[in-house]
Amino acid sequence: MFIMSEDSQRTQGRDAQSSNIMAGKAVAESVRTTLGPRGMDKMLVDSGGDVVITNDGATILNEMDIEHPAAQMIVEVADTQEEEVGDGTTTAAVLAGNLLGEAEDLIEQDVHATTIVEGYHEASEIALEAIAEQVDEADVDDEILRQVAESSMTGKGTGGLTAETLAETVVDAIQHVDTDEGVARDNVTVHTEVGASSNATELVPGIIVDEEPAHDGMPSEVEDASIAILDVELDIQTGDVDAEYAIDSIDQLNAAIDAEEGELQGYAETVADSGADVVFTTEDVADRVANALANEGILVFEGLGDSDARQVAAATGARRVGDLDDLEESDFGSADRIHTESFGGDDLAFVEGGAAAETVTVFVRGGTEHVVDELERAIGDALDVVATALESGEVVPGAGATEIAIADKIREEAAGIEGRKQLAVTAFADAVDIVPRTLAANTGRDPIDVLVDLRAAHDSEGRAGLITKGDEVTIDDPFEYGVVDPADVKREAIESATEAATMIARIDDVIAAE
């Protein structure tokens, strides 16, 4: 009796577990060398020849052509980490891979997968308690936020800028959108433009739109601007049905021309009479209308995408209008200043101040496309973690110190756990050690020696991490060196890695249908 298709493939038992675990470990290993301030970059080349150079874990895993379903779960771990807290993607992926490796060793010792899952979940609860104990009791002030941002960006491609310089820009951006209701992270955008040194990166108090004026004669700068946003075509209206008109005389031709001219002039007069200084429209603007508005000193941008129109509306407080006859002053938004600038042939519109000041833009510059892309990723992660730290008010030591504390507490608690589950709990602690071990390996130090020294320093001092400052590598309190991470980054890494590893470890039957 055939139950499944003849083309179906089925892997069962220990073979299925081994295959899944091997795939998960391979994916995690692919990003391990990118971890930490001395982590290396990866160059990813797709079938079309496009190149991505990065050491961001989530970006690397998403760019890789991964087909194995278990390996894709590790990619999902990094994606979840990125979406929830913005950083720690490599840590989460590496931890998940090593939890699988420890689980494989236990399975070979005939420890049942259910026992491993139970032990891992119990160990993860202990890990969360250890993270809570490591939280710094000091208030998260501007200096700590700067340290969080700098720690996030250290080791990432920041062009000619230091992480310290970028950290100040990041903190300024997040503080700008800190409200009584919380941090409005969505009000911070990152705009990249190739063509200058990364030292030209700056914070713009408003938004940047990739548009140019509809007419060369329009002003390049408008101060104290009243802004209208239209979903209206300022051009001759045409029907959906093809039609031809027969003109038998010059008078008829002149009448048709006059009618068109009157229609276009009507659009220009309506806009000018409304009192708007600047107009953004998602539709086209006829040359004659643009010329008339230019003569009135009105700045017009045409053909905006829907997302840009929504962004301008949100930033300026303007309401989008779908009928020109409905345009009223109450629909206008405002901004202190709107100006246009040209960068390497690209014209950009800067909407600054006023209502737009609720939104800020980090304007990233770089000499090449690869530089600005990596800068954008680094700054995006830093913005996320600073927002997370500001909202939670909890930070923990970085540089592997929190992982050392987690492993130490888990081993301490494991002594009181009965049965084989103790083996799984202890294995979880061994897996967590991969973070300081990898940091040590990436700095050229012996991982075993460093791990021993870190444990000894933790026992005596209560807090110890592997600090990298310039060419110096030392073991000390990360807080003394400003190496700090949001507590939520560590929590999310533990939780997501544990869930993925336990899900994969429980699979003992893989059915692949063609």
Is pLDDT of 442 > 50? yes
User: What's the rounded Cα separation, in Å, for the pair 354 and 305?
Assistant: 23
Asked if 170 and 149 touch (Cβ cutoff 8 Å), the reply is: yes
Token pair 């140019």: residue: 212
Say what the pLDDT of residue 210 is: 87
Q: What is the mean pLDDT of the chain?
A: 81
How high is the pLDDT of residue 263? 55
Instruction: Quickly count: other Cβ atoms within 10 Å of residue 4's Cβ.
Output: 10
Fold annotation for 12-136+396-439+490-504: GROEL; domain 1 (1.10.560)
Please state, in angstroms and rounded to a whole number, the distance separating the CA atoms of residues 288 and 402.
Answer: 66
Catalytic residues: 56, 89-90, 381
Residue 344 has pLDDT above 50, yes or no: yes
Distances (CA, A) of 423 to 20, 99, 480: 21, 13, 36
Which residues have a Cβ under 8 Å from the Cβ of 144 and sit 6 or more positions away? 136, 138, 389, 395, 484
Cβ 361 vs Cβ 191: under 8 Å = yes
426-430 long-range CB contacts below 8 Å, 24 or more apart?
A: 427/102, 427/103, 427/105, 427/106, 427/116, 427/119, 428/99, 428/102, 428/119, 428/120, 428/123, 428/124, 428/127, 428/498, 429/123, 430/98, 430/102
Count of beta carbons in the 10 Å neighbourhood of residue 1: 2
Residues of the chain with CATH 3.50.7.10: 206-352
What does the pLDDT look like over 160-202, one tens digit per residue? 455 677 888 888 889 888 887 878 788 888 888 887 777 778 8
> Under a CB-based contact definition with an 8 Å cutoff, are residues 477 and 400 in contact?
no
Q: Which residues pair with 234 in a beta bridge?
A: 285
What span, in angstroms and rounded, lies between the C-alpha atoms of 425 and 415?
10
Instruction: Please list the residue range(s) of the chain that carry CATH number 1.10.560.10.
Output: 12-136+396-439+490-504
Question: pLDDT (tens digit, 9 = 90+) per residue, 310-319?
Answer: 888 888 888 8
pLDDT attached to residue 1: 36
Q: Please give the average per-residue pLDDT across 197-215, as a whole number.
A: 84
Supply the pLDDT for residue 43: 84
Please tell me the predicted confidence (pLDDT) of residue 237.
59
Average pLDDT over residues 364-392: 85
Band (pLDDT 50/70/90 cuts) for residue 342 is confident
The domain 206-352 having CATH identifier 3.50.7.10: the answer here is: yes
Q: Give the confidence band of 355 by pLDDT, cuts at 50, 70, 90.
A: low
